[in-house]
């Protein structure tokens, strides 16, 4: 309802002032339509990632090698379902409906993290996912705890507390494998070889190739750039790999004393673009499983609603 | 495909006796009982709570941000609402 005659919308200036002073934007506050849209896109895709992310790990629940590992993995996958729900709730405060968001995922209009399009081929992959994938997620999400939209920031605080359990359970798996038999150690190294680059891709395209970044930074949705976060992840992961006695599959990886950071090789961006376009190893399988769960579960959701309506009617009648 | 969505419920958790219920988030559920069960599974997995409230989201009426001034004006002219407005002789001690 912008008045064309009065020039720039004064609400926009007030909004930006709140953002600039590290204030939080809340659901009923005025916000630019593009801010709302960007957030719905980002938060819903974040939620989709949690839900789709249950599949690669769920793949090993029935085959976990010990009961201790199995209960931990079940608890972890349960947390991920919860993270999806927190995030869908946060997106709903922006006026999006969860049904629509799920439809957008299933119709391929919405994306989810590229990482979940890679297969879990060995038990070591469960350790590597916990260590690297959840490790990357923590770095992303710790930065998002200060994002400008209140409900998103609060969801992140809650999620970060739980992610630490995920990462530690994963690293512990790898510590055991790397201190185990030669075959177990080989399994861990082979797993790292397959997941290292996909984990680096989780931070998104490089800064000079990330068109939405400038606006997201100005609105403080994003607090650090993709490349800054990626660098932080590499710096953190290298010593952890060294402790395990594993080699990171990057011949260009080298400590740079001048920068105080690790230099690393070029991320295979062609592969990233292919996975993003739906042509990764498991894109079809992941979407098919999600679609099947929605479609096959439709009658159960309808039954629950019909039952709730019946009970409500009965309660009303007995009250009368 | 049915578009009927389970309604949205807002969840409030009280962490221990003596504290107040705090908004924790929301859940979708067909009825109040399922909302309580889902909220328990989702928001109290790690001993976060001893009491749960679930409220249909459409039962909540929120104040409008633009009313901030009128509704929440601290009324600085009403200094007599604060205990420090009143003078108590030092000899009386802490009160």
What confidence tier does B4 reach under pLDDT thresholds 50, 70, 90? Answer: low
In chain B, which residues have their Cβ closer than 8 Å to the Cβ of A30?
Answer: 65
In chain A, which residues have their Cβ closer than 8 Å to the Cβ of B4?
Answer: 301-302, 305
Domain count, chain B: 1
Are B6 and A304 a contacting pair at CB < 8 A? Answer: yes
In chain B, which residues have their Cβ closer than 8 Å to the Cβ of A85?
Answer: 25, 27, 42
Residue in the structure block whose two tokens are 């003596």: B18
Closest chain B CA to residue A15: B65
- Cβ of A214 under 8 Å from any chain B Cβ? no
In chain A, which residues have their Cβ closer than 8 Å to the Cβ of B1?
Answer: 294-295, 298
- Cβ of A82 under 8 Å from any chain B Cβ? yes
State what percent of residues in chain A have pLDDT above 70. Answer: 98
What confidence tier does A4 reach under pLDDT thresholds 50, 70, 90? Answer: low
Residues of the domain holding B39? 8-85
CATH code of residue B45: 3.10.20.520
> Is a pLDDT exceeding 50 seen at residue A208?
yes
Region B46-64: mean pLDDT is: 90
Q: What is the pLDDT of residue B73?
A: 72
The secondary element (H helix, E strand) that includes residue A263 is: strand A261-263
- Cβ of B60 under 8 Å from any chain A Cβ? no
Region A192-221: mean pLDDT is: 93
> Is a pLDDT exceeding 80 seen at residue A3?
no
Determine, yes or no, domain membership for B35: yes
State what percent of residues in chain A have pLDDT above 90. Answer: 89
- Cβ of B27 under 8 Å from any chain A Cβ? yes
Distance CA A230, CA A263 (A): 11
Closest chain B CA to residue A90: B25
Q: What is the pLDDT of residue B81?
A: 82
- Cβ of A100 under 8 Å from any chain B Cβ? no
Domain locations along chain A: 10-280
Determine, yes or no, domain membership for B16: yes
Q: What is the pLDDT of residue A319?
A: 85
Give chain A as a 3 state SS string: CCCHHHCCCHHHHHHHHHHHCCCCECCCCCCCHHHHHHHHHHHHHHHHHHHHCHHHHHCCHHHCCCHHHHHHHHHHHHHHHHHHHHHHHHHHCCCCCHHHHHHHHHCCCCCCCHHHHCCCCCCHHHHHHHHHHHHHHHHHHHHHCCCCEHHHHHHHHHHHHHHHHHHHHHHHHHHHHHCCCHHHHHHHHHHHHHHHHHHHHCCCCCHHHCCCHHHHHHCCCCCCCHHHHHHHHHHHHHHHHHHHCCCCCCCCCEEECCCCEEECCCCCHHHHHHHHHHHCCCHHHHHHHHHHHHHHHHHHHHHHHHHHHHHHHHHHHHHC
> Is a pLDDT exceeding 90 seen at residue A56?
yes
In chain B, which residues have their Cβ closer than 8 Å to the Cβ of A304?
Answer: 6, 30-31, 34
Question: What is the residue-averaged pLDDT of chain A?
Answer: 94
Are B2 and A97 a contacting pair at CB < 8 A? Answer: no
> Is a pLDDT exceeding 60 seen at residue A38?
yes
Overall fold of domain A10-280 = Ferritin (1.20.1260)
Are A304 and B34 a contacting pair at CB < 8 A? Answer: yes
Question: 3-state DSSP call for residue A51?
Answer: helix
Determine, yes or no, domain membership for B15: yes
Q: What is the CA radius of gyration of chain B?
A: 21
Determine, yes or no, domain membership for B1: no
Are A298 and B26 a contacting pair at CB < 8 A? Answer: no
- Report DSSP state, residue B21: P
Determine, yes or no, domain membership for B31: yes
Region A59-68: mean pLDDT is: 97
From the list A29, A158, A305, the residue facing B4 with the nearest CB is A305
Region A49-67: mean pLDDT is: 97
Q: What is the pLDDT of residue B1?
A: 42
The secondary element (H helix, E strand) that includes residue B13 is: strand B8-14
Determine, yes or no, domain membership for B18: yes
**pTM for this predicted structure:** 0.90
Residue in the structure block whose two tokens are 């400008």: A148
Determine, yes or no, domain membership for B26: yes
What confidence tier does A309 reach under pLDDT thresholds 50, 70, 90? Answer: very high
**Tokens, residue A270:** 């062609």
In chain B, which residues have their Cβ closer than 8 Å to the Cβ of A99?
Answer: 3, 5
What confidence tier does B79 reach under pLDDT thresholds 50, 70, 90? Answer: confident
ipTM given for this complex: 0.80
């Amino acid at each position: 309802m912008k008045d064309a005659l009065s020039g720039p919308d004064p609400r926009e200036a007030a909004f930006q002032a709140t953002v600039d002073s590290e204030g939080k934007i809340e659901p009923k506050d005025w916000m630019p339509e593009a801010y709302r849209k960007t957030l719905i896109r980002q938060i819903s895709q974040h939620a989709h990632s949690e839900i789709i992310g249950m599949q690669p790990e769920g793949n090993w629940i029935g085959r976990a090698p010990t009961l201790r590992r199995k209960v931990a993995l079940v608890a972890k996958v349960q947390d991920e379902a919860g993270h999806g729900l927190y995030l869908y709730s946060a997106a709903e405060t922006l006026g999006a409906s969860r049904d629509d968001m799920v439809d957008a995922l299933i119709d391929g209009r919405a994306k989810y993290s590229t990482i979940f399009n890679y297969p879990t081929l060995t038990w070591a992959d469960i350790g590597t996912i916990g260590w690297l994938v959840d490790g990357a997620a923590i770095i992303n999400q710790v930065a998002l705890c200060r994002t400008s939209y209140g409900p998103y920031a609060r969801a992140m605080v809650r999620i970060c507390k739980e992610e630490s359990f995920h990462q530690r359970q994963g690293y512990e798996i790898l510590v055991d494998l790397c201190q185990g038999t030669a075959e177990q150690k080989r399994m861990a190294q082979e797993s790292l070889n397959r997941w290292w680059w996909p984990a680096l891709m989780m931070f998104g395209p490089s800064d000079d190739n990330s068109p939405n970044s400038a606006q997201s930074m100005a609105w403080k949705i994003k607090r650090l750039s993709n490349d800054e976060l990626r660098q932080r992840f590499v710096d953190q992961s290298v010593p952890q790999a060294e402790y395990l006695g594993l080699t990171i599959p990057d011949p260009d990886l080298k400590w740079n004393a001048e920068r105080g950071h690790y230099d690393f090789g070029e991320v295979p961006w062609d592969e990233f673009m292919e996975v993003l376009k739906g042509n990764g190893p498991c894109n079809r399988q992941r979407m098919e499983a999600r679609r099947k769960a929605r479609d096959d579960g439709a009658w159960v959701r309808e039954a629950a609603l019909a039952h709730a309506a019946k009970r409500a009617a009965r309660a009303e009648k007995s009250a009368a | 495909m049915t578009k009927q969505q389970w309604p949205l419920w807002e969840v409030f958790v009280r962490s221990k006796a003596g504290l107040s219920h705090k908004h924790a988030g929301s859940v979708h559920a067909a009825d109040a009982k399922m909302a309580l069960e889902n909220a328990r599974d989702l928001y109290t997995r790690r001993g976060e709570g001893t009491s749960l409230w679930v409220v249909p989201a459409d039962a909540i009426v929120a104040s409008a941000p633009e009313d901030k001034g009128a509704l929440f004006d601290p009324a600085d002219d009403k200094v007599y609402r604060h205990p420090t407005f009143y003078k108590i002789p030092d000899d009386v001690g802490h009160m």
